Amino acid sequence: MGIFDYFKSKSASTSSASVAKDRLQIIVAHERSKRQQPDYLPQMQQEIIDVIRKYVKVGNEDVQIQLDNSDDCSVLELNVTLPDQN
């Protein structure tokens, strides 16, 4: 490693290649998690939203459903953002 590598590494985080890598890591991780979810998840999500709507006024984006698979168990995470009371 030469002395100029020190300066090179400083600019590395702003190079267009590192921007590309960051963007790819995010989109690929996102698409992989979608790929692993079962086919019924979108419909189940919609039905859960419909049930919640019977009682509280929420939009589609206020309900997040995520399925996480670890080694021997799957966790279905349901996150509902309720509207302000006032």
Helix, strand, or coil (residue 73): coil
Q: How far apart are CA 62 and CA 79, in angstroms?
A: 8
74 forms part of the interface with other proteins (CB under 8 A) = no
What distance in Å separates the CA atoms of residue 57 and residue 67, rounded to the nearest whole number?
Answer: 24
Check the CA dihedral 5-9-11-12 and report its sign.
positive
Taking CB under 8 A as the binding criterion, the range among 10-18, 37-45, 54-62, 73-81 that sits at the site for other proteins is: 10-18
Minimum distance from CB of 68 to other proteins (Å)?
Answer: 18
How many whole angstroms separate alpha carbon 68 and alpha carbon 5? 41
Site membership for other proteins, residue 56 (CB under 8 A): no
Among 5, 64, 68, 78, binds other proteins (CB under 8 A): 5
Positions touching other proteins (CB under 8 A) are 1-5, 8, 11-12, 15-18, 20-21, 23-25, 27-28, 31-32, 35
